[in-house]
């Protein structure tokens, strides 16, 4: 772990200390009622951390409190990291957004689209156009997720074990298996949350000649000083990994999904390096990643991306400037679909009023399955990160609740 997170007085960066104090007061109720094991909340403005509250324990009802060095499963907050990796290669000319995915993964030349039938005997047709690299960034690829229950293709994924937790054989083999499933739609037609970023992770491997874990470690984590972020937890750090929980949406019962410490599966190398959801991290490490994004691709003299590239990534790239809600129908998302477009790796606010939350046009965000979340507001020069460990991410509205509390603290 690097040195502790330095903080400034909230008033020094235009925030109210009294109002920021509402954050731990509010979330204490979730912990006291046994709804969440913990809540860590960090707010930074103008490059300075003005609030850090650490509540609850490393296991539900436990005695050991979380701390700055607690390690969390960040799941889909891995996706922005993979997207940054791909855009680093874009800057080097090794990847183009308008390239066909099959240029990097040849098996993707023979994709088919669902056109009826059954999960056991699907009827398919040829796509209207090939899948492009930009479709992977945007979740407009036509791919899906096994945990979704919106389309027969999702059931096809489950039947054929097309998810990284059940697949045997590594990322390259996983991508070869994916093409056996029909696409939900022809690439570019709709938005559907999916394994697209796992496929993008494979594109990173092919374009760089490095495994995804090595690329992350050497090109992103080491330069940024993200010493506790990776696909596994080092043995000397095992005690810092907290437990993870799942809430049954019908009964509300909460059960442990993965234990803390050395008993967790994250103490062993994963079978598949999931660029869509495989990383663990600390709140301090992820702050360093967010600071790099907020500062135009640079942190403490280390440049990861050009400011122009990051500005491009923060634009809404969905066709016709549409929102996720307009393109995604009922599909799952890690952020509110109304008022949100999608950039190259995250949701982008396009209509503040439609989100029903205070905010700014151009703010960008994403979250993870265990209710972790971050957003960056370039207009307010604001970063906020929330960490806990409860699945699914929509179990409670803690993300918009944090946003309400943070924006209410802005004084100038």
Structural domains of the chain, with CATH: 10-78+211-408 (3.40.710.10), 85-208 (no CATH)
Question: Measured in whole angstroms, how far is the alpha carbon of residue 271 from the centre of its chain?
Answer: 20
Q: Which residue has the tokens 């008993």?
A: 263
pLDDT of residue 275: 97
pLDDT of residue 1: 43
Look at residues 28, 98, 117 and name the one whose alpha carbon lies nearest to residue 405: 28
- Joined tokens for residue 348: 């982008």
pLDDT of residue 3: 55
pLDDT of residue 2: 46
pLDDT of residue 164: 78
Rounded CA-CA distance 314/199 in Å is 21
Rounded CA-CA distance 92/187 in Å is 26
CB 385 within 8 A of CB 290: yes
Look at residues 83, 67, 26, 31 and name the one whose alpha carbon lies nearest to residue 284: 67
What element of type H or E holds 52? strand 48-56
CB 95 within 8 A of CB 70: no
Rounded CA-CA distance 140/329 in Å is 13
Residue 315 backbone phi and psi in degrees, to 5: -75, 160
Question: Measured in whole angstroms, how far is the alpha carbon of residue 249 from the centre of its chain?
Answer: 22
Rounded CA-CA distance 359/403 in Å is 8
Rounded CA-CA distance 386/335 in Å is 14
pTM of the model: 0.97
* Sequential pLDDT tens for the chain (412 residues): 445 899 999 999 999 999 999 999 999 999 999 999 999 999 999 999 999 999 999 999 999 999 999 999 999 999 999 999 999 999 999 999 999 999 999 999 999 999 999 999 999 999 999 999 999 999 999 999 999 989 999 999 999 989 877 788 899 999 999 999 999 999 999 999 999 999 999 999 999 999 999 999 999 999 999 999 999 999 999 999 999 999 998 999 999 999 998 899 999 999 899 999 999 999 999 999 999 999 999 999 999 999 999 999 999 999 999 999 999 876 677 788 899 999 999 999 999 999 999 999 999 999 999 999 999 999 999 999 999 999 999 999 999 999 999 999 999 8
Rounded CA-CA distance 180/200 in Å is 18
């Amino acid at each position: 772990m690097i040195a502790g997170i330095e903080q400034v007085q909230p008033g020094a960066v235009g925030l109210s200390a009294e109002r920021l104090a509402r954050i731990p007061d509010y979330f204490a109720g979730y912990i006291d009622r046994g709804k969440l094991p913990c809540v860590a909340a960090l707010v930074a403005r103008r490059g300075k951390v003005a609030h850090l509250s650490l509540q609850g324990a490393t296991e539900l009802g436990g005695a050991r409190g979380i701390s700055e060095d607690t390690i969390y499963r960040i799941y889909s907050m891995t996706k922005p990291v993979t997207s940054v990796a791909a855009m680093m290669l874009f800057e080097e000319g090794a990847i183009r957004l308008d390239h066909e995915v099959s240029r990097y993964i040849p098996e993707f030349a023979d994709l088919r689209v669902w056109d009826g039938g059954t999960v056991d005997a699907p009827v398919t047709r040829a796509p209207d156009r090939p899948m492009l690299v930009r479709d992977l960034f945007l979740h407009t690829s036509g791919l899906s997720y096994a945990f979704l229950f919106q389309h027969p293709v999702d059931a096809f994924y489950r039947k054929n074990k097309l998810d990284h937790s059940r697949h045997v054989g590594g990322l390259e083999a996983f991508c070869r298996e994916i093409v056996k499933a029909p696409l939900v739609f022809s690439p570019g037609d709709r938005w559907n949350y999916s394994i697209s970023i796992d496929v993008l992770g494979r594109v990173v491997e092919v374009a760089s000649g490095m495994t995804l874990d090595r690329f992350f470690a050497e090109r992103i984590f080491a330069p940024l000083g993200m010493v506790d972020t990776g696909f596994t937890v080092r043995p000397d750090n095992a005690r810092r990994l907290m437990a993870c929980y799942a809430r049954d949406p019908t009964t509300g019962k909460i059960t442990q999904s993965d234990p803390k410490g050395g008993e967790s599966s994250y103490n062993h190398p994963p079978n598949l390096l999931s660029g869509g959801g495989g990383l663990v991290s600390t709140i301090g490490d992820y702050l360093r990643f967010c600071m790099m994004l907020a500062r135009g691709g640079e942190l403490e003299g280390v440049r990861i991306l050009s400011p122009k590239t990051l500005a491009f990534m923060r634009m809404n790239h969905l066709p016709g400037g549409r929102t996720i809600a307009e393109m995604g129908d009922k599909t799952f998302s890690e952020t509110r679909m109304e008022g949100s477009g999608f950039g190259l790796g995250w949701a982008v606010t396009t209509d503040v009023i439609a989100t029903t939350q205070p905010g700014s046009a151009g703010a960008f965000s994403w979250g993870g399955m265990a209710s972790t979340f971050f957003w960056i507001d370039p207009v307010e020069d604001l970063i906020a990160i929330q960490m806990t460990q409860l699945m699914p991410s929509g179990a409670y509205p803690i993300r918009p609740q944090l946003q309400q509390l943070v924006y209410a603290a802005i004084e100038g």
